[in-house]
Amino acid sequence: MVVLSNLGQHRNCAFLRFFGLLARFPGLPAATFSRIMRPEEDAKMMLATVYNPHARAAVMAIMFSLGLLLAQEPQTSNFYDVHVSKDELYSYNNLKFTGDYASYESPKGFLALGRTEAGVTIVIVLGEGTVTIEAPEAVQEKFKAVMGAYPLKTTFKNLYMRLHPKEYEEVFGKQSLTKVADEGAFTAAKQLFDDRFASSYHAGQKALLPPYKTRVMDFNTASLGLVTTTEGYWLILRKYSPYGSVYPNDFVNPKQK
């Protein structure tokens, strides 16, 4: 979905200029216009439905012009190489994060970063901490039934987090980090990366960037095992042993409407 959204942003400008060409050919049938709305899928069908030779020539001219316009649009990749390396392993003190409904803090530990050419999109916390998760009033009873209490306050052993690079800079960029060389911590971080990478915002081995202010947090908790929460336009909160989900499908986040 992210890829399609970004692609649409690049092509909108071209399409706006393209529609200006249509005014030059008022004789084109209505069916032609409807198919021009989807030029990539329906190009052959469009030509097949235009029998008037003049209209057919006009359509071909418009398609050629559209191709030139699209070729001029900036092309950017939405797929990024990402990995956890020994060069991005740090120690920290008093790490804190506050989201829409989930917040955590950890007094000390190691931090491993997954960096793309667009910036950091993966944060791996290797250190004990506490997490607090709340929810909108509409699901608080379900929350209590699934998680055993409301709000959820528990400890965690480690955390795998996905976020947009801009939010990383805003939240963690000012954090005091010290680069370290610790083989045990790196091995643990690499294992967590391998285990959790395919669970969110990826295309094969490539990373996709979550939208800004969307974050996925996978907590390895002491009391509930793996607890995952997603905060963005939609909210997701699940545990896996035993499985339970707090939110219904497509539950819109009241804080990001």
Residues constituting the chain? 257
Tell whether 162 and 215 lie within a shared domain: yes
- Computed over every residue of the chain, the mean pLDDT equals 82
What per-residue confidence (pLDDT) applies to 34? 35
Does 161 fall in a domain? yes
Has residue 9 got a pLDDT over 50? no
Residue 166 near residue 119 (C-beta atoms within 8 A): yes
Tell whether 16 and 119 lie within a shared domain: no
Tell whether 62 and 97 lie within a shared domain: no
Tell whether 223 and 176 lie within a shared domain: yes
Does 79 fall in a domain? no
Average pLDDT rounded to a whole number, residues 228-242: 97
The number of domains in the chain is 2
Does 233 fall in a domain? yes
Over the stretch 35-74, which tens digit does the pLDDT of each residue have? 333 344 344 444 444 456 666 666 566 666 555 554 554 5
Does 252 fall in a domain? yes
Does 78 fall in a domain? no
Number of Cβ within a 10 Å radius of residue 47: 15
Over the stretch 97-122, which tens digit does the pLDDT of each residue have? 999 999 999 999 999 999 999 999 99
Does 77 fall in a domain? no
Tell whether 191 and 212 lie within a shared domain: yes
What per-residue confidence (pLDDT) applies to 55? 61
**Confidence class for position 6, pLDDT limits 50, 70, 90:** very low
Domain carrying residue 49: 2-72
Over the stretch 82-96, which tens digit does the pLDDT of each residue have? 989 999 999 999 999
Does 44 fall in a domain? yes
Q: Examine the fold and report which residue of 51, 72, 93 is the final residue of a domain before the chain moves on.
A: 72
Tell whether 95 and 148 lie within a shared domain: yes
Does 108 fall in a domain? yes
- Quick one: tokens of 126? 């290797």
What per-residue confidence (pLDDT) applies to 7? 37
In 179-233, which ranges are continuous DSSP H helix? 183-196
Q: Examine the fold and report which residue of 72, 93, 125 is the final residue of a domain before the chain moves on.
A: 72
Residue 237 near residue 228 (C-beta atoms within 8 A): yes
CA distance 55 to 26: 10
Residue 158 near residue 193 (C-beta atoms within 8 A): no
CA distance 116 to 45: 41
Tell whether 60 and 142 lie within a shared domain: no
What per-residue confidence (pLDDT) applies to 132? 98
Q: Examine the fold and report which residue of 46, 72, 98 is the final residue of a domain before the chain moves on.
A: 72
